[in-house]
Chains A and B, each alone.
Chain A
Amino acid sequence: GQSLEQPSEVTAVEGAIVQINCTYQTSGFYGLSWYQQHDGGAPTFLSYNALDGLEETGRFSSFLSRSDSYGYLLLQELQMKDSASYFCAVRHNYGQNFVFGPGTRLSVLP
């Protein structure tokens, strides 16, 4: 089977840096994705890591360690609009199937 773990909630202040962790146990592994979902909205794609290391896209970075079955999403210079739920998702076979984690609700305070 597959299982992913994320913290359920994280709180930070504007301008700060926050890291959202994701650990996974899956029968196969091809990559780790991150999605953002605002209340009432659809999930939107943030990043995908297939290889170990850090991928940076503007204020957001995503890290993967395949040997540790672990990844994280790093959000810098937090803004109020970053308040949302963040989901990690593992691609566990060669197809387009992803298994999603339970999500982390990020609250950014003024």
Chain B
Amino acid sequence: DVKVTQSSRYLVKRTGEKVFLECVQDMDHENMFWYRQDPGLGLRLIYFSYDVKMKEKGDIPEGYSVSREKKERFSLILESASTNQTSMYLCASASGRAGNEQFFGPGTRLTVL
């Protein structure tokens, strides 16, 4: 079974703090994604990566950066957290070959005070 894990289920940070969210997948997938999920807005893509050290901006990259130093690990970084970044953050991975299915982690609910 594919397993995507995220470092925390719940996180509370203060405005201006640097925040790291980590995601690890165990199925050797080439593609990894970071989304944020807000009520009524669905899932919005922040960044994605097709390979180690590769990254591409999604639809809402402002205020975020990412790092992919190893194939199995994709980190999302909030350089200076703000209250409007309070959200559910979901990581996903997918095979780069014929796969059309994305496998999601359990999510991190981040609250920025």
Please report A residues at the B interface, Cβ cutoff 8 Å.
4, 8, 31, 33, 41-45, 48, 50, 87, 89, 91, 95-103
Contacts and interface: CB of A to CB of B under 8 A. Distances in A.
Contacts of B102: 43, 45, 96, 98
A42 B104 contact: yes
Nearest to B48: A97
Q: Which of B45, B58, B101 has the most CB of A within 10 A?
A: B101
A43 B101 contact: no
Contacts, number: 54
Given A87-B43, A91-B100, A42 B107 contact: yes
Interface residues of B, number: 26
Contacts of A89: 43
Q: Which of B33, B58, B100, B102 has the most CB of A within 10 A?
A: B100
B100 A99 contact: no
Contact of A100 (B42, B48, B99): B42
Contacts of A33: 100-101
Interface string B13-49: 0000000000000000001010100001111110010
